[in-house]
Amino acid sequence: MPYAPKPLPRSRLHRPDNRPTRQKRGYDRDWEKLRAAVIDDEPLCRMCMNRGRHVAADLVDHIQPIEDGGERLSRENLQPLCRKCHGEKTAEDLRKRRGKA
């Protein structure tokens, strides 16, 4: 049977986006410290490295997304990526998540 989402109650349709700020969602000082440590350890994009390319990392990624139960502040769950690879991985994570649903 195809999945049909229930319509939202009217009162929720036009509510402004009131999600917590980035900071409140956990991108706090501990995260900043850990992020800096990862880049310090591995200044190059890991996915590019695996393809034999040396590209400076732009950001630190959660290997297993937090949304999927990944550990937020675990060094083992973090990898440095360049923007391009991060975009690819995010798209892939989304695809996987949709596939499961």
Contacts with Zn ion, residue ranges (CB under 5 A): 45, 47-48, 55, 82, 85
CB of 55 to Zn ion, least distance (A): 5
Looking at the Cβ atoms of 38 and 48, the one nearer to Zn ion is 48
Using alpha carbons only, what angle is made at residue 86 by residues 43 and 26, rounded to the nearest 5 degrees?
85
Looking at the Cβ atoms of 25 and 53, the one nearer to Zn ion is 53
CB of 97 to Zn ion, least distance (A): 22
Looking at the Cβ atoms of 14 and 51, the one nearer to Zn ion is 51
Residue 59: its H or E element: strand 59-62
CB of 43 to Zn ion, least distance (A): 12
> To which residue do tokens 């402004």 refer?
16
Compute the distance between CA of residue 71 and CA of residue 78 in angstroms, rounded to an integer.
Answer: 9
Nearest C-alpha neighbor of 60 from the set 36, 84, 88, 76:
36
CB of 47 to Zn ion, least distance (A): 5
CB 44 within 8 Å of CB 57: yes
Looking at the Cβ atoms of 60 and 82, the one nearer to Zn ion is 82
